[in-house]
Amino acid sequence: MNKFLFFEDVFIKKNKIKEALSPFMDIEFHKDTKIENYECLIGFGSGCFKLFELIENSSYLKDVFLISCYLDFDRFLAWTASACLKEIAEKIGIDVKDLNENIDFSKLKGKKYFLKKEKFKCKFHLIYGIDNKLFSTDDALKIVDLLDFPRVHLFEEGGFAPFLKFPEYFANLITEEINK
């Protein structure tokens, strides 16, 4: 089985992600791990910030998957700092019990990432749920213009975290893409 390195979003508990995906793929969560040891990297939501910082100007040539990626926290998600967990869960499309109750917004407030395609050597894939209620797919797809020929995979359902609703399909998609 391939090994995948997952950069999680601040909103959803790690154990929920692991529970959904581990029957179908061998994932580990990022914690200062050498990225070269993995078949591909998967960034989800705010986890994409750390992923970009690590692969920028690196020699990583493998596939990188970006799920519900956004590049400006304040523009898209600043409202969440003052929202209740129930409201956030409804927008994300998951149960409140699966939300991380200890979200540290201090690391995200004012966070922006300026993409420059010449800084990357890897092959990008963008994954979005068309019914994402946190930000529009149109806004998200503007990232396509900033990257060099990314593959785009749209899920009709699944919202912000389509891999939670369709974990087996998600795992198969990634496995097929990295084996091309």
pTM: 0.92
Of the candidates 100, 83, 115, the residue with the CA atom closest to the CA atom of residue 161: 100
At 163, is the secondary structure helix, strand, or coil?
helix
Cα(2)–Cα(9) distance, integer angstroms: 22
Interval 2-36: pLDDT, tens: 889 999 999 999 999 999 999 999 999 988 778 88
Q: Which amino acid is at 127?
A: I
Angstrom CA distances, 95 to 14, 16, 64, 88, 107, stand at: 14, 10, 28, 10, 24
Task: Provide the token pair at 114.
Answer: 């300026």
Residue 107 maps to which CATH number? Answer: 3.40.50.1820
- Write the pLDDT tens digit of every residue in 65-124: 999 998 888 877 888 878 888 998 888 888 899 998 888 877 788 888 887 778 888 889
Give the total number of structural domains in the chain: 1
- Supply the range of the domain harboring residue 107: 3-178
